[in-house]
């Protein structure tokens, strides 16, 4: 037992360091989950091809390698948004009025198509790219290291959350999107164009995936055809955890998953550490058992007498 | 203005509406009454494009609107006050009203129209920044009517506006409807509260199991009350 516990560092610095890491990882998860929640809210579609947008962004970064990172970031954003729009137009629009399971299967089909396409074009082997040398440097604060990339991750996430909040709250199309998420049929009867709000939700989801893709590749440096699988699963779990259809819930779910994952990585005894994901999802299951509706309940089509 | 010709609607193998022919002239208030399951709401759903008709024709201002997208109908001048009100509970009262203007071609006069609506429903002005879900049922019904009016419709469809409301709220709803009628608006009102509807509308149709079993002006139907009572088990009482 003592030997088991000796591998755990209980110092305050170690705790703070892990908190920094957790916020950074949680930001990344929140970006992915938010994009998926936005589309789910309006279309009732869990888009499992969302993760493949990260892969598309990854290959874009490999192919474009060279310019300074802000240029790369903007290019990735644009390409991911375009692919998301294309996905909606080509794959999802024709089956929009079909059952939820048809939509789900369609999203798997899109995912397989993109992954196999990437395998054909780029081979299944990982490609590596170095986005920026500056971003991997760290600031040292006391005994804690804050990677510039982690700071950028958190800053970008906060800015994007604020911008999205303004967009949904203040613009006409934003109000239309919120209305459509609550009662799509009624929104249409008031004149809200289905094509516009759905395309907009995919475009924004694509932008968020683009940012996530950039941050992920900047961190790991590796790009491969199935790199979107793990993130999409995390995104899905985050929106279930947060409460399906709730945007705030998706963000909270993303941050929570990041926190749980980093905490377990840091504080699980060494021998158990390889089972980290099993523990993570065990905790998630527990939360869902206790609160099946998710942490934040999305209100829709609610009426009072 | 609106004409249904031999309209039939099926839900799978079940025929919910079996050949309804009715018309609404400009400036007229027309009621559709009948017991639960008579096909009243289905008829409205067919008009608003929520369910496709399996036969017959729906003509608005001389053009067929069968197969029209829901978001196009409001641009043609049809507004719906739906069953259950269906206001957006997480959005503010102001945002709900803003959504009502989505289909308007002319947005320059929105503020004037809003002023007029706030004079009619002062409570909505008070709660303009409040999430609409916090309003009472009666206030939500006012919002649903206001949201339809702000689109400047030429035809207003109302689906069971009194359903689920307290009696004094029902009075208030019919008071509003009377005002709209006095303004000369064209209204198609679908209601289970048959006697009130028949007394309010210029003409009414009585539906039962998907068919029109009785129709006529207010006075004509008043004279047939006994027949209706026997036929519909007291729907018109």
| Model confidence, pTM | 0.90
Please give the pLDDT value at position A26. Answer: 95
CA distance linking residue B79 with residue B74, whole number of Å: 6
The SS3 call for residue B224 is: coil
Q: Is A254 helix (H, G, I), strand (E, B) or coil?
A: helix
Is residue A210 scored above 70 in pLDDT? Answer: yes
Name which of A191, A196, A296 to mutate to probe chain B: the one with the most chain B Cβ atoms within 10 A of its Cβ: A191
CB spacing of B98 vs A182 below 8 angstroms: no
Distance CA B175, CA B183 (A): 13
Contact between A27 and A154 under an 8 Å Cβ cutoff? The reply is yes
Question: A7 or B33, which is more confident?
Answer: B33
* C-alpha of A261 from chain center: 15
In whole angstroms, give the CA distance from residue A241 to residue A255.
11
Beta strands in chain B (DSSP E): 2-11, 14-24, 29-33, 55-60, 63-64, 78-81, 155-159, 186-191, 203-208, 211-217
| pLDDT at A5 > cutoff 70 | no
pLDDT at A299: 61
Cα R_g (chain B), whole angstroms: 18
* Residues listed for chain A: 305
pLDDT band for position A34 (50/70/90)? very high
**Average pLDDT of every residue of chain A:** 91
Chain B CB contacts of A299 below 8 Å: 89-90, 133
Measured between CB atoms, which of A178, A183, A299 is closest to B86?
Answer: A183
Residue ranges of domains in chain A: 2-304
pLDDT tens string A118-141: 999 999 999 999 888 888 888 988
Which chain A residues in 167-186 lie under 8 Å from chain B, judged by CB atoms? 172, 175-176, 178-179, 182-183, 185-186
Of B48, B80, B89, the CB nearest to A182: B89
B102 with A303: Cβ contact below 8 A: no
Residue A304's pLDDT band (boundaries 50, 70, 90)? very low
Backbone angles phi, psi at A52, to 5 degrees: -70, -20
Size of interface A-B (CB pairs under 8 A): 82
Distance from the A90 Cα atom to the nearest Cα atom in chain B, whole angstroms: 20
DSSP annotation of B35: S
Pick from A179, A299, A303: CB nearest B99? A179
**Which of chain A's residues have a Cβ under 8 Å away from the Cβ of B103?**
190-191
Q: Cα distance from B10 to chain A (closest Cα, Å)?
A: 18
Q: Which residues does chain A have within 8 Å of residue B74's beta carbon, measured at their own beta carbons?
A: 189-191
A298 pLDDT higher than 80: no
User: What is the pLDDT at residue A89?
Assistant: 97
Whether A96 contacts chain B with CB within 8 A = no
Looking at residue A189, the DSSP 8-state letter turns out to be: H
Tell me what pLDDT residue B165 has: 87
Rounded CA separation A91/A40 (Å):
16
Residues of B in contact with A183 (CB under 8 A): 86, 88
Instruction: Yes or no: say if B66 and B16 are a contact pair by the CB < 8 Å rule.
Output: no
The pLDDT profile of chain B, 237 residues, written as one tens digit per residue, is 999 999 999 988 888 899 999 999 999 999 999 888 888 989 999 999 888 999 999 999 999 999 999 999 999 999 999 999 999 999 999 999 999 999 998 888 999 999 999 999 999 999 999 999 999 988 999 999 999 999 999 999 999 998 888 888 889 899 999 999 999 999 999 998 888 898 899 999 999 889 998 898 988 887 776 555 645 554 444
Angle at A161 between CA A156 and CA A167, to 5 degrees: 125
Helical residues (DSSP H) of B18-166, grouped into ranges: 40-47, 70-76, 93-100, 110-120, 122-126, 137-149
Structure tokens at B25: 């002239």
Nearest to B88 among A182, A188, A305 (CB): A182
Check B151 against A183: CB less than 8 A apart: no
Longest Cα–Cα distance of chain A, Å, equals 68
Judge: A301–B86 Cβ closer than 8 Å, yes or no: yes
Closest-CA residue of chain A to B86: A301
* Dist CA A258 CA A242 (whole Å): 13
Asked if B56 and B8 touch (Cβ cutoff 8 Å), the reply is yes
Tens of pLDDT, residues A237-283: 999 999 888 899 999 999 999 999 999 999 988 888 889 999 999 99
Into which CATH architecture does domain A2-304 fall? Answer: Orthogonal Bundle (1.10)
Mean pLDDT of A192-203: 96
Alpha helices of chain A — where are they, by DSSP H?
2-6, 12-43, 50-64, 69-87, 100-122, 133-136, 148-170, 172-182, 184-189, 194-220, 229-242, 247-267, 276-290
Tell me the two tokens of residue B145: 């009517």
CB distance A191–B135 less than 8 Å?
A: no
Instruction: Give the number of other Cβ atoms within 10 Å of residue B107's Cβ.
Output: 9
ipTM: 0.91
Residues of B with CB under 8 A from a CB of A: 48, 50, 69-71, 73-75, 80, 82, 84-91, 95, 98-100, 102-104, 133, 135-137, 140, 147, 151, 164-165
Closest CB to B91 among A172, A178, A188? A178
Provide the pLDDT for residue B236.
46
Q: What is the pLDDT of residue B226?
A: 58
DSSP A171: S
Q: Do B71 and A189 touch (CB under 8 A)?
A: yes
Q: What is the mean pLDDT of residues A156-179?
A: 96
pLDDT at A4 (0 to 100): 58
Q: Residue A3: is its pLDDT beyond 60?
A: no
pLDDT of residue B224: 73
Q: Are strands A127-128 and A222-223 parallel, antiparallel or unpaired?
A: antiparallel
pLDDT of A305:
33
CB contact under 8 A, B90 and A178: yes
- Nearest-by-Cβ selection for B99 from A176, A185, A194: A176
Residue A39 has pLDDT above 80, yes or no: yes
């Amino acid at each position: 037992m003592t030997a088991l516990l000796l591998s755990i560092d209980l110092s305050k610095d170690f705790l703070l360091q892990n908190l920094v890491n957790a916020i950074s990882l949680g930001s990344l998860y929140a970006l992915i989950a938010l994009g998926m929640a936005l589309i789910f809210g309006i279309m009732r579609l869990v888009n499992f091809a969302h993760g493949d947008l990260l892969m598309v962004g990854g290959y874009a970064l490999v192919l474009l390698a060279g310019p300074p990172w802000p240029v790369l970031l903007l290019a990735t954003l644009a390409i991911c948004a375009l692919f998301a729009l294309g996905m909606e137009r080509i794959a999802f629009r024709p089956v929009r009025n079909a059952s939820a399971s048809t939509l789900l299967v369609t999203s798997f089909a899109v995912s397989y198509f993109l992954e196999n396409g990437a395998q054909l074009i780029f081979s299944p082997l990982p490609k590596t790219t170095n986005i920026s040398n500056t971003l991997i440097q760290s600031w040292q604060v006391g005994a804690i290291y804050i990677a510039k990339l982690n700071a950028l991750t958190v800053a970008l996430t906060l800015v994007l959350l604020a911008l999205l909040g303004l967009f949904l709250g203040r613009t006409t199309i934003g109000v239309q999107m919120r209305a459509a998420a609550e009662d799509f049929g009624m929104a249409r009867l008031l004149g809200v164009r289905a094509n516009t709000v759905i395309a907009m939700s995919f475009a924004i989801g694509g932008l968020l995936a683009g940012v996530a893709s950039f941050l992920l590749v900047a961190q790991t440096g590796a790009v491969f055809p199935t790199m979107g699988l793990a993130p999409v699963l995390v995104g899905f779990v985050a929106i279930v955890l947060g409460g399906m259809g709730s945007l705030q819930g998706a963000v909270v779910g993303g941050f929570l998953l990041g926190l749980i994952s980093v905490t377990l990585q840091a504080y699980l005894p060494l021998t158990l550490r390889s089972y980290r994901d099993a523990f993570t999802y065990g905790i998630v299951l527990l939360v869902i058992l206790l609160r099946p509706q998710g942490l934040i309940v999305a209100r829709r089509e609610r009426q009072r007498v | 203005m609106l004409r249904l010709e031999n309209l039939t609607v099926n839900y799978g193998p079940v025929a919910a509406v079996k050949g309804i022919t009715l018309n609404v002239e400009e400036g007229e208030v027309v009621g559709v009454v009948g017991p639960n399951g008579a096909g009243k709401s289905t008829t409205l759903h067919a008009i608003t494009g929520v369910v496709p008709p399996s036969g017959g024709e729906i003509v608005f201002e001389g053009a067929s609107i069968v197969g029209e997208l829901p978001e196009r109908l409001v641009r043609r001048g049809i507004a719906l006050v739906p069953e259950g009100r269906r206001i957006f509970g997480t959005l503010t009262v102001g945002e709900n009203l803003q959504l009502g203007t989505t289909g308007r071609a002319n947005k320059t006069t929105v503020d004037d129209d809003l002023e007029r609506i706030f004079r009619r429903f002062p409570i909505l002005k008070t709660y303009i920044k409040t999430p609409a879900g916090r309003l009472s049922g009666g206030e939500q019904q006012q919002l649903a009517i206001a949201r339809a009016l702000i689109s400047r419709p030429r035809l207003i469809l109302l689906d069971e506006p009194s359903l689920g409301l307290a009696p004094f709220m029902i009075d208030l709803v019919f008071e509003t409807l009377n005002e709209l009628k006095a303004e000369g608006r064209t209204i198609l009102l679908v209601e289970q509260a048959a006697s009130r509807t028949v007394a309010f509308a210029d003409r009414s149709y009585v539906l039962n199991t998907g068919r029109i079993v009785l129709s006529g002006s207010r006075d004509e139907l008043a004279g047939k009350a006994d027949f209706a009572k026997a036929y519909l088990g007291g729907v018109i009482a």
